[in-house]
Amino acid sequence: MDAALQPGLRYQHQFLVPVSKTVPALYPEAEEFLMMPEVFATGFMVGFLEWACIKAIQPYLDQPHEQTVGTHINVSHQSPTPAGLTVIATVELIEINDRKLVFKVEAHDDIDLIATGTHERFVVLKDKFDAKVAAKKALLQQTNKA
């Protein structure tokens, strides 16, 4: 991680919400979701906020060796956004604690404030992280064979 990465870094990212990012598309196999209105799903909104944080810090990481993973999200979803509107995320890095990065996050659509909160990411070494995932998969396969 580049030492130039410091709290105060701000970034904006925008996205035109398609129907494929609305509540019915979140879990199309769930009848309960299929009955919901076609508005930007909270699950997709969280992913959008994560995406903005990733883009903000990308220039400061030794990629692909270093990557970040989301470890905590605390966000309120305050207003519905129908498909066809643009959402804009504004993120600010507010804390660095070793490899933990804390962001203040906010999102607006073309009309309203839609989300506020915080998001934490952790810088991982890709090879070590991938090895941990592979070990977990191997354990699952062993369990399934027993």
Domain range summary for the chain, segments of one domain joined by +: 10-145
CATH of domain 10-145: 3.10.129.10
Predicted confidence at residue 69, as pLDDT, reads 97
Name the one residue in this structure whose structure tokens are 């508005």.
39
What percentage of the chain reaches a pLDDT higher than 70? Answer: 99
| Residues 14-26: tens digit of each pLDDT | 999 999 999 999 9
Predicted confidence at residue 139, as pLDDT, reads 87
How large is the average pLDDT for residues 91-101?
97
Establish whether 42 is a catalytic residue: yes
Residue 53: both structure tokens together: 């944080």
pLDDT higher than threshold 80 for residue 146? no
From the candidates 50, 68, 81, 90, give the one annotated as an active-site residue.
50
DSSP state of 99: T
Establish whether 77 is a catalytic residue: yes
Establish whether 50 is a catalytic residue: yes
Which residues contact residue 136 at a Cβ distance below 8 angstroms, ignoring those fewer than 6 apart? none
Which residues contact residue 29 at a Cβ distance below 8 angstroms, ignoring those fewer than 6 apart? none
Strands (E), 17-112: 66-77, 86-97, 100-108
Average pLDDT score over the chain: 95
How large is the average pLDDT for residues 70-83?
98
3-state secondary structure of 80: coil
> pTM for this structure?
0.92
pLDDT higher than threshold 90 for residue 103? yes
From the candidates 13, 77, 108, 119, give the one annotated as an active-site residue.
77
pLDDT higher than threshold 70 for residue 8? yes
| Residues 37-61: tens digit of each pLDDT | 999 999 999 999 999 999 999 999 9
Exposed / middle / buried, residue 98 (Cβ in 10 Å: 0-12, 13-18, 19+): exposed
3-state secondary structure of 124: strand
| Type of residue at 71 | T
Exposed / middle / buried, residue 6 (Cβ in 10 Å: 0-12, 13-18, 19+): exposed
Predicted confidence at residue 144, as pLDDT, reads 77
Name the one residue in this structure whose structure tokens are 């991982």.
124
Predicted confidence at residue 145, as pLDDT, reads 75
How large is the average pLDDT for residues 82-97?
98
How large is the average pLDDT for residues 79-83?
97
